[in-house]
A and B are shown apart, each in its own frame.
Chain A
Amino acid sequence: MTKLKFLINFSAGVFILLFLLFCASCERNDYELLDPESAGVWTHFDTNDGLPGNTVTDIGRDSKDNLWIAFAGQGIARYNYDTWTSYRTTNSLLLSNIVSCIAENKDGSIIIGTALGLSVLSETNTWDSYLDPLIITSVKVASNGNIWIGTADQGFFVNRGSGYEKVYNDLYKTVNVIEEDASGNVWLGTNNGLIKWDGKSYSYLGMLNGLPNNRVSSLLRDRQNRLWIGTRGGKTVSWIDNRGIHQLQLFNNKDTCLVNDIFQDRSGSIWFATSSDGLVKYDGIIPLTIKAATGKLPENTILSIGEDKYGNLWFGLATKGVVRYTLPIE
């Protein structure tokens, strides 16, 4: 009887072990895993690598995860992570090869701001043109579907579904950038301060309201619903939240900074593309400058920042193509 009892106990124990191991071998999914060695890596691409041009003015991603890059002189290019497809005046109905901005419309078409008006490339590869021959500087498709277009010297245009309506004020004729905040307000950065459209009326903010400079060159609404403001000539960059306007010193050892673009990466850090100080990464605590001298960038003039579907950052350079940066892991 004792031996029988022992055998039962032993068998039960073996069964428990097998059951545990079976459980352990369950619930495993197969994923495409990235190599940790690939994180934190900077990679430079230029025309030698197949990039259509070396002056990159804007970088965007569409809803199908294609990467779109705008060039000053070489049109635009779409990158599907395998090949580049280039669109120029010679192979498409693009209005000009000098492209300043790109955005995706609600219907999936790509709105392209050029030096000779607005080109729209539909999903079916048909082209339309608008506002010919204005110099387009910025495009924003708002959450309600309205399309806001900024120009170099003709104020801005709004398309609420029935065509482009011009809004012009001589003080604010140059619109550099357009952004929408979390409340649905549309902000337009001009050479004479900020214009805010709250859905009913326009209001204006300038240096008297705390902006570091009136030449607003870049805007970003981040995931914490802060509106970041970069200027050409301000000593700091600013952000607006529900507590008011705040200043951030970029630690570039200068009394001015020229911010061309602002972007928030997936880790939450804010990146500033500057005209002569390379990149500044702000992790919420301190801004760290990344210059060409570090070997990570081929030059110090960064025009634009975008992100691909993997969360890699793409930095558009003034004369030397793009740099891709894979975020580091901790």
Chain B
Amino acid sequence: MKNVSALLLIILLSLSLSYDAAGQKVTPERDKYVLLTMPYNQRPLNLYRGQVQANAGYKFAVRAQSFNADGDLVYLKNYGTGSVYHYYFVNLRYGLTSFIELGAETNFLRRGIREASVTVVSTTLTSAERITVNKLTESRGMGDIFLYTALRLPVQYKWFDIDITGGIFLPTSGYEPEIPSNTITSASLASENTSTINLHYNNTNGYGVPVYLLATASKISYKDFTVEAEWTMRTPGKEGQNIRWEETLAEKSFSYYNQLYSYLLSDIYTFDFSLHYQATGWFNLSLNGSFFRTKGGWTEYWGNKYRNPEKKLINLEPGFELQISPGLKICQLAGFPLSGKNNDAPFYMFTTLSYSIFPFMR
């Protein structure tokens, strides 16, 4: 009920603001080249009526450090557990009217996380054995399909805009982990028997349950400068179930079995605040501060339900938007983690190509 009250407050606020904002009404020029090349500081939060936009993005992240439960930075490379990950997304948006936008999005994730190797040695009068265990947890696969509707202030944009977005992540991905692909190599030397065991867990992508999204954004421009703020909440629709794979090694062959467990995803809140500078009509610079946190949720381990640890992360993201042609834009930003808790702290580069057309406008 608290969430519903917050939403109502946002809607009432946006409606009340619409009166004052009506003063910014201008006669729109319905020329597709004008609309396609509209600089960032002069365009609304949503697409124009009839506009179709396709976005394709790639995020490359270097996971070299992490924030622990106390908020201290842990350098993963010191433990040999650093890794990189690749995240791709595609997104299609359509301006149903100049105030209502529909969109669909999905992603593909590829990431591998290594753990520090463990070696056990047993040396006795009659034998010596050494076993080294390497562990790699790989996540790979398509994410869920995200469908959304965005409603913006029902006036023409001049210097102020606000919108509300509601959406759902449909649990379309194969989220259950696949069977591990462990291997073992052995060698018998004169002095000892050695074995290397490579544990390879194959996780997938996706939530496994419907997840709802509610977001609101606002934008204020003054001359070449724009300030934008966006708040987003994701909350799971229901509890989910998944499996964990376990293995047993006997006579150099692995046998696998899995255990079912239930979970409730944490609510995810993000808040972004960005300052933009329109250097020219085709080039926009930005500096974004991004705050991420999770709350609630639980995961079942061995028959008990444990609260999910609360995660936090603050990033600083300098970036730019460059108009390449009337229909094509490129956006790029770099992410630098500043502080956090119980969360990876990767440095990342995020590049998005954005192509827009007005298929129904001559």
Which B223-267 residues sit within 8 Å CB-CB of chain A?
235-239, 246-251, 255, 257, 259, 264
Question: Residue A288 at the B interface, CB < 8 A?
Answer: yes
* C-alpha gap A35/B310 in the complex (Å): 11
Q: Are B129 and A249 in contact (CB under 8 A)?
A: yes
Q: Are B133 and A35 in contact (CB under 8 A)?
A: no
Render A27-71 as a binary contact track against B, CB cut-off 8 A, 1 for contact: 111011111110100000000000000000000000000000000
**Shortest distance between the CB of A307 and any CB in chain B (Å):** 10
Instruction: Return the chain B residue nearest A27 by Cβ.
Output: B238
B104-112, B171-179, B274-282, B294-302 - the one binding chain A: B294-302
* C-alpha gap A37/B309 in the complex (Å): 9
* C-alpha gap A32/B304 in the complex (Å): 9
* C-alpha gap A267/B247 in the complex (Å): 11
Q: Contacts A27-B238, A27-B239 given: A285-B154 contact, CB under 8 Å?
A: no
Q: Contacts A34-B306, A35-B307, A285-B133 given: A251-B301 contact, CB under 8 Å?
A: no
* C-alpha gap A99/B7 in the complex (Å): 65
**Chain A residues within 8 Å of B304, by CB:** 34, 310-311
Q: Are A29 and B301 in contact (CB under 8 A)?
A: no
**Shortest distance between the CB of B199 and any CB in chain A (Å):** 7
* C-alpha gap A254/B250 in the complex (Å): 21
Question: Residue B121 at the A interface, CB < 8 A?
Answer: yes
Q: Contacts A24-B212, A25-B4, A249-B122 given: A284-B298 contact, CB under 8 Å?
A: no
* C-alpha gap A329/B1 in the complex (Å): 33
* C-alpha gap A20/B169 in the complex (Å): 11
Q: Are A329 and B305 in contact (CB under 8 A)?
A: no
Q: Is the interface of B mostly helix, strand, loop or mixed?
A: strand
Q: Contacts A267-B302, A329-B301 given: A22-B149 contact, CB under 8 Å?
A: no
* C-alpha gap A310/B303 in the complex (Å): 7
* Contact with A285, one of B126, B127, B199, B212 (Cβ below 8 angstroms): B199
* C-alpha gap A172/B75 in the complex (Å): 59
Q: Are B238 and A39 in contact (CB under 8 A)?
A: no
Render B315-352 as a binary contact track against A, CB cut-off 8 A, 1 for contact: 00000000000000000000000000000000000000
Q: Are B302 and A266 in contact (CB under 8 A)?
A: yes
* C-alpha gap A32/B300 in the complex (Å): 11
Instruction: Return the chain B residue nearest A239 by Cβ.
Output: B250
Question: Residue A165 at the B interface, CB < 8 A?
Answer: no
Question: Residue A6 at the B interface, CB < 8 A?
Answer: yes
Question: Residue B185 at the A interface, CB < 8 A?
Answer: no
**Chain B residues within 8 Å of A27, by CB:** 237-239
* C-alpha gap A16/B133 in the complex (Å): 52
Question: Residue B78 at the A interface, CB < 8 A?
Answer: no
Q: Contacts A266-B303, A285-B133 given: A21-B166 contact, CB under 8 Å?
A: yes
**Chain B residues within 8 Å of A9, by CB:** 96-97, 99-100
Question: Residue A90 at the B interface, CB < 8 A?
Answer: no
Question: Residue B36 at the A interface, CB < 8 A?
Answer: no
* C-alpha gap A16/B102 in the complex (Å): 13
Question: Residue B188 at the A interface, CB < 8 A?
Answer: no
**Shortest distance between the CB of A298 and any CB in chain B (Å):** 24
Question: Residue B187 at the A interface, CB < 8 A?
Answer: no
**Chain A residues within 8 Å of B197, by CB:** 285-286
Q: Contacts A24-B212, A251-B121, A253-B122 given: A10-B100 contact, CB under 8 Å?
A: yes
**Shortest distance between the CB of A291 and any CB in chain B (Å):** 13
**Shortest distance between the CB of B197 and any CB in chain A (Å):** 6
Q: Count B-side interface residues using an 8 Å CB cutoff.
A: 60
Instruction: Return the chain B residue nearest A254 by Cβ.
Output: B124
Question: Residue A106 at the B interface, CB < 8 A?
Answer: no
Q: Are A246 and B307 in contact (CB under 8 A)?
A: no
Q: Are B122 and A36 in contact (CB under 8 A)?
A: no
Q: Are B124 and A253 in contact (CB under 8 A)?
A: yes
Question: Residue B313 at the A interface, CB < 8 A?
Answer: no
Instruction: Return the chain A residue nearest B298 by Cβ.
Output: A33
**Chain B residues within 8 Å of A250, by CB:** 122
**Chain A residues within 8 Å of B235, by CB:** 24-25
Instruction: Return the chain A residue nearest B4 by Cβ.
Output: A21
Question: Residue A208 at the B interface, CB < 8 A?
Answer: no
**Chain A residues within 8 Å of B314, by CB:** none
* Contact with B306, one of A17, A22, A33, A253 (Cβ below 8 angstroms): A33
Question: Residue B125 at the A interface, CB < 8 A?
Answer: yes
Q: Are A285 and B302 in contact (CB under 8 A)?
A: no
**Chain A residues within 8 Å of B1, by CB:** 25
Question: Residue B92 at the A interface, CB < 8 A?
Answer: no
Question: Residue B164 at the A interface, CB < 8 A?
Answer: yes
Q: Are B4 and A39 in contact (CB under 8 A)?
A: no
Instruction: Return the chain B residue nearest A244 by Cβ.
Output: B251
* C-alpha gap A32/B307 in the complex (Å): 9
Question: Residue B120 at the A interface, CB < 8 A?
Answer: yes
Q: Are A39 and B301 in contact (CB under 8 A)?
A: yes
Question: Residue B16 at the A interface, CB < 8 A?
Answer: no
**Shortest distance between the CB of A221 and any CB in chain B (Å):** 15
* C-alpha gap A242/B123 in the complex (Å): 31
Q: Are A31 and B305 in contact (CB under 8 A)?
A: yes
Q: Are B124 and A34 in contact (CB under 8 A)?
A: no
**Chain B residues within 8 Å of A321, by CB:** none
Residues of A within 8 A of B (CB): 6, 9-10, 13-14, 16-18, 20-29, 31-37, 39, 224, 241, 243, 246, 249-255, 265-268, 284-288, 310-311, 327, 329-330
- Other A-B contacts than A29-B239, A33-B307, A253-B123, 15 sampled, CB-CB below 8 A, are A13-B149, A16-B149, A21-B3, A21-B212, A22-B4, A23-B212, A25-B1, A25-B4, A27-B239, A32-B305, A224-B255, A251-B122, A265-B302, A285-B199, A310-B303
Please, could you name 17 A-B residue pairs with CB atoms under 8 Å apart, sorted by A?
A6-B154, A10-B151, A23-B212, A23-B237, A29-B239, A31-B298, A241-B250, A246-B250, A249-B129, A251-B131, A254-B124, A255-B126, A265-B302, A268-B259, A285-B248, A285-B249, A286-B118
